[in-house]
C-alpha cells in the first residue's frame, strides 16, 4: 500500500475527525509520532485565513505543559495545510468514562487539577481553548492532556460562520458564548466545570436531547450534579455560575482542590461563595487578527504562584472614572437644557408646556420598554429570536404602565412651577418674567420629581456623548445659545405668546371666559 505523506510526516492511520479537519496518527523520519490534523479547505481556503493560522500556530507553539498536547510542527502554506501535536496514546476522557464509569476520590481531584493547569498553560500563551469537553481530553495514564486547543479561534472566519458552523458542543459551552458574546477566560472555566462534572458523574451536566433544549438549560444554569463527589461539588457549582463574573479563577480552583492542602468542604464553600474585593475592573479583551490575548494579571502558571493567593473571583467591571473636564461639560449642557426650557416657556407657555409633557411621556415610555426588554433577556437568556417581536407586542402595555407615574411627575413639576410663579409674584418681578420663572420651576420638577430617573437616563444618553469631546460640546453649546437667542428675540419682538389663550391667565376675566 502506497504511503501517504503530508510534509515530513507519513500518515499511519486515521484517528478521527472534527469540524476543522481530519486527524491522523503520523510518524516523521526520526520516528516521532504525532496527531496530525489535516485542515479542511473551507477553514484555510485563502491567503488571509492561512496568515491567521500561521500567527495562531506561532503563538500556540509557546505552550509547554505536561497537561497539553503542544504543537510540534505545522505548515499553514503547504499544498495540504496541517498542524501536528504531541501524540498521546490513551483513551479520551469521554471514552474512558463511557467504558469504565465515572471517576471519584483522589483520581477525580487529580483530573480536575490537571485540567485546570492545562488551561492555565494555554491562557498563559495568550489564547483561549474555547472547546473544552470530554472528547478533547486524552488520558496519559491518569494524567489528563488537553488536545485541539486554540484552533477553534479559526472558526471566526466568516466563511465558516455563514455555513452555520457551531464552535464547540452546546452542553459544554458557557452561556455567554451561546448568547453571542466574545468569550473570555471565564468561558473556559465554565467548560472545565462541565467536563469535570461529566468525569465525576458519567453524565453531561446539562443533560441530553435536542441541542436547543440543552442550550436553553445552559443559559438558565439548570445543571444536574447528582452523584458528583461532594469534595468537588462546591467548586464545580461555583464554576458553572451563569454569570461569568461570579465564577472563580483557574488559580483559585487549583488552590482549593490541591490534594496536598485540600481544604474541608466548609472551607471550600467559604472560599468559593464569599465575594472577594477585586482590583480595578476587567481590562478589555485585546484581540489580534488570529489570537485572542488575555489579561496577563489573570494568568497563574505555576504552583509557586498559587501561594500568592490569586483572586477567587473574576474582577467585576467598574465604571470608568469620568474626567473632570467632561463632567463640567455634562453639567453645562444639562444647565443649558434647563435654561432652554425656561426660555421656551417664557416665549410661548401653553404650546411649550404641552409639548414638554408629550416629550416626557414618550421618553419615559421608551425607558420602561427598554427596562422590560432588558429584564426579560436576562431572565430568559440573551438574544432570543422572539425578543424584538415580544417587545413590539409589549409596547402598548409599557405605555399603560408608564402613564400613571408620568402623570404624577408632570403634576409634581407643575406644582414646583406654581411655587416658582408665586415666589416671582411675591418678589415683585415684572409680569413678563413670570412664565420664565414658571418654566424654570417646571424644568427642575421634571429633573428631580418622582419617576424622573427614567427621564434623566435617556436625556443623559443624548447629552453625555456630546460632552465627551470638546468639539461636540462646543457645537451643542452653540446650538443651544442660538436657540436661546432666537427665543429671546421672539420674546422681545412679540412679547409672551399665550395662544391659544387671548392673554395671560392672571389677566383673564375667568367668569366671562367660562360663559
> Is the domain of 259 the same as that of 357?
no
Please indicate whether residue 352 or residue 49 has the higher confidence score (pLDDT).
Answer: 352
Same domain, yes or no, for 242 and 359?
no
CA distance 74 to 489: 76
* Helices within 185-301 (DSSP H only): 185-201, 211-220, 230-239, 250-257, 265-273
Angle subtended at Cα 151 by Cα 146 and Cα 157, rounded to the nearest 5 degrees: 155
Catalytic (active-site) positions:
131
Query: Do 197 and 161 have their domain in common?
Result: yes
Residue 143: φ, ψ to 5°: -95, 120
Domain check: are 230 and 338 in the same one?
no
318 within a domain of the structure (yes/no): no
pLDDT higher than 80, residue 313: no
The domain in which residue 255 lies consists of 4-275+285-306
* Residue 474: band (very low, low, confident or very high) from pLDDT cuts 50, 70, 90: very high
pLDDT band for position 282 (cuts 50, 70, 90): very low
Tally the C-alpha atoms within 13 A of residue 108's C-alpha that lie toward its C-beta: 24
| Binding-site sequence positions for ATP | 37
Please tell me whether residues 77 and 214 are part of one structural domain.
Answer: yes
Classify residue 380: in a domain, yes or no. Answer: no
Residue 415 forms part of a structural domain: yes
The answer on 455 and 402 residing in a single domain is yes
User: Cell 492542602 belongs to which residue?
Assistant: 261
Cα gap 92→101, rounded to integer Å:
13
Give the pLDDT band of residue 148 (cuts 50, 70, 90): confident
The C-alpha cell at 79 is: 499544498
Mean pLDDT of the region 105-125: 90
Q: What are phi and psi of 5, to 5 degrees?
A: -115, 145
> Are residue 115 and residue 178 in the same domain, yes or no?
yes
Q: At 454, list the grid cell.
A: 427614567
Taking only the tens place, the pLDDT of each residue in 480-513 is 999 988 988 988 888 888 888 777 776 666 555 5
- For 262-278, what is the mean pLDDT? 46
User: Closest Cα to residue 178, out of 163, 165, 194, 166?
Assistant: 166
Residue 165 has pLDDT above 60, yes or no: no
Q: Is residue 485 part of a domain?
A: yes
The grid coordinates of residue 296 equal 496577563
With a pLDDT cut of 70, the percent of the chain lying above it is: 77
| Same domain membership, residue 144 and residue 263 | yes
Provide the domain count of the chain.
2
CB atoms within 10 A of CB 385: 7
- What value does the mean pLDDT of the chain take? 78
DSSP-based three-state secondary structure for 174:
coil
Q: Which three cell numbers stand for residue 43?
A: 477553514
Confidence (pTM): 0.51
Known binding-site residues equal: 37
Q: CA of 386: how far to CAs of 215, 315, 381, 391, 447, in Å? A: 16, 32, 11, 8, 35
Residue 84 burial class via C-beta count within 10 angstroms: exposed 0-12, middle 13-18, buried 19 and up: buried
The pLDDT of 86-97, averaged and rounded, is: 90
Q: Is the same domain home to 267 and 329?
A: no
> What pLDDT shows up at residue 491?
85
Q: Indicate whether 211 and 330 sit together in one domain.
A: no
Are 193 and 114 found together in one domain? yes
Residue 389 C-alpha cell reads as 417581536
Query: Residue 108: CB partners within 8 Å, gap ≥ 6?
Result: 102, 196, 199, 200, 229, 232
Residue 183 lies in a domain: yes
Query: At residue 287, does pLDDT exceed 80?
Result: no
Kindly report the CATH number assigned to the domain that includes residue 188. Answer: 1.10.510.10
pLDDT surpassing 50 at residue 156? no
Could you tell me if residue 167 is inside a domain? yes
In a domain, 280, yes or no: no
In a domain, 37, yes or no: yes
Q: Give the per-residue pLDDT at 372.
A: 79
| pLDDT tens digit sequence for 349-373 | 999 999 999 999 999 999 888 887 7
Q: Which of these ranges, 52-56, 281-285, 354-358, has the smallest mean pLDDT?
A: 281-285
Examine the domain organization and report whether 38 and 129 are in the same domain: yes
Residue 126 zone, left/alpha/beta (φ > 0; ψ -120 to 50; rest): left
Amino acid at each position: 500500500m502506497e504511503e501517504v505523506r503530508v510534509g515530513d510526516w507519513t500518515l499511519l492511520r486515521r484517528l478521527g475527525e472534527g469540524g476543522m479537519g481530519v486527524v491522523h496518527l503520523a510518524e516523521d523520519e526520526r520516528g516521532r509520532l504525532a496527531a496530525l490534523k489535516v485542515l479542511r479547505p473551507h477553514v484555510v481556503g485563502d491567503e488571509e485565513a492561512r496568515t491567521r493560522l500561521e500567527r495562531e500556530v506561532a503563538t500556540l507553539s509557546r505552550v509547554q505543559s505536561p497537561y497539553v498536547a503542544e504543537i510540534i510542527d505545522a505548515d499553514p502554506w503547504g499544498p495540504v495545510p496541517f498542524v501536528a501535536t504531541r501524540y498521546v496514546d490513551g483513551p479520551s476522557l469521554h471514552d474512558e468514562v463511557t467504558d469504565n464509569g465515572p471517576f471519584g476520590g483522589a483520581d477525580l481531584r487529580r483530573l480536575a487539577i490537571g485540567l485546570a493547569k492545562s488551561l492555565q498553560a494555554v491562557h498563559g500563551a495568550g489564547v483561549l481553548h474555547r472547546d473544552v469537553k470530554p472528547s478533547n481530553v486524552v488520558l496519559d495514564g491518569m494524567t489528563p492532556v488537553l488536545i485541539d486547543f486554540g484552533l477553534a479561534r479559526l472558526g471566526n472566519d466568516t466563511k465558516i460562520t455563514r455555513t452555520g458552523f457551531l464552535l464547540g458542543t452546546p452542553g459544554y459551552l458557557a452561556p455567554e458564548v451561546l448568547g453571542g458574546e466574545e468569550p473570555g477566560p471565564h468561558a473556559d472555566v465554565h467548560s472545565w466545570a462541565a467536563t469535570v462534572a461529566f468525569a465525576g458523574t458519567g453524565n453531561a451536566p446539562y443533560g441530553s436531547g435536542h441541542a436547543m433544549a440543552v442550550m436553553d438549560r445552559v443559559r438558565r444554569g439548570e445543571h444536574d450534579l447528582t452523584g458528583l463527589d461532594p469534595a468537588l461539588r462546591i467548586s464545580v457549582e461555583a464554576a458553572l455560575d451563569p454569570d461569568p463574573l461570579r465564577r472563580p479563577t483557574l488559580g483559585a480552583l487549583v488552590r482549593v482542590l490541591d490534594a496536598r492542602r485540600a481544604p474541608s468542604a466548609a472551607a471550600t464553600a467559604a472560599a468559593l461563595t464569599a465575594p472577594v474585593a477585586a482590583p480595578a475592573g476587567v481590562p478589555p479583551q485585546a484581540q489580534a487578527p488570529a489570537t485572542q490575548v488575555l489579561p496577563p494579571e489573570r494568568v497563574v502558571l505555576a504552583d509557586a504562584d498559587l501561594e500568592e493567593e490569586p483572586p477567587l473571583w473574576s474582577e467585576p467591571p467598574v465604571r470608568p472614572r469620568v474626567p473632570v473636564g467632561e463632567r463640567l461639560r455634562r453639567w453645562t449642557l444639562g444647565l443649558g437644557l434647563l435654561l432652554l426650557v425656561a426660555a421656551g416657556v417664557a416665549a410661548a407657555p401653553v404650546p411649550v408646556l404641552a409639548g414638554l409633557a408629550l416629550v416626557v411621556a414618550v421618553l419615559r415610555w421608551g425607558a420602561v420598554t427598554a427596562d422590560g426588554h432588558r429584564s426579560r433577556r436576562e431572565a430568559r437568556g440573551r438574544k432570543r429570536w422572539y425578543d424584538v417581536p415580544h417587545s413590539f407586542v409589549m409596547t402598548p402595555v409599557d405605555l399603560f404602565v408608564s402613564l400613571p407615574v408620568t402623570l404624577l411627575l408632570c403634576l409634581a413639576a407643575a406644582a414646583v412651577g406654581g411655587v416658582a410663579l408665586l415666589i416671582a409674584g411675591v418678589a415683585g418681578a415684572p409680569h413678563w418674567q413670570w412664565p420664565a420663572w414658571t418654566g424654570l420651576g417646571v424644568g427642575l420638577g421634571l429633573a428631580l420629581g418622582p419617576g424622573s430617573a427614567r427621564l434623566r437616563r435617556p436625556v443623559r444618553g443624548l447629552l453625555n456623548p456630546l460632552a465627551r469631546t470638546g468639539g461636540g460640546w462646543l457645537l451643542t453649546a452653540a446650538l443651544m445659545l442660538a436657540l436661546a437667542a432666537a427665543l429671546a428675540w421672539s420674546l422681545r419682538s412679540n412679547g409672551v405668546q399665550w395662544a391659544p389663550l387671548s392673554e395671560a391667565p392672571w389677566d383673564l376675566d375667568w367668569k366671562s371666559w367660562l360663559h
